[in-house]
């Protein structure tokens, strides 16, 4: 008797700055920021209500179904 393979969804849903977004399963935070053309050095990220202080960890943070991100951009000017 064989066990059926679990169906992996083609997209997962998350909330970014209050809006619903879909991404591919297994997407890292770094990859998501790159898809938005955002420089990680110029943003502050809150992931599931926790401010992420270590930008070096972004590649190892895999976004999951139902995650919440708040992305704050730094804007220069005078």
Three-class DSSP labels, 43-73: EEEEECCEEECCHHHHHHCECCCCCEEEEEE
pLDDT digits (tens, 9 = 90+) for 4-46: 556 667 999 999 999 999 999 999 999 999 999 999 999 999 9
CB 69 within 8 A of CB 17: yes
Q: In the predicted model, is pLDDT for residue 68 greater than 80?
A: yes
Task: Kindly report the number of other CB atoms within 10 A of residue 75's CB atom.
Answer: 6
| The architecture CATH gives domain 21-73 | Roll (3.10)
Q: Where are the domains of the chain?
A: 21-73
d(CA 64, CA 28): 9
What's the confidence (pLDDT) of residue 62?
98
């Amino acid at each position: 008797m064989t066990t059926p393979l679990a169906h992996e969804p083609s997209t997962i849903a998350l909330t970014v700055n209050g809006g619903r977004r879909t991404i591919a399963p297994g997407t890292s935070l770094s990859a998501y920021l790159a898809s938005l053309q955002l420089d990680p050095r110029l943003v502050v990220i809150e992931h599931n209500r926790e401010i992420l202080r270590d930008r070096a960890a972004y590649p190892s943070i895999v976004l999951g179904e139902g995650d919440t991100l708040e992305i704050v951009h730094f804007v220069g000017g005078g």
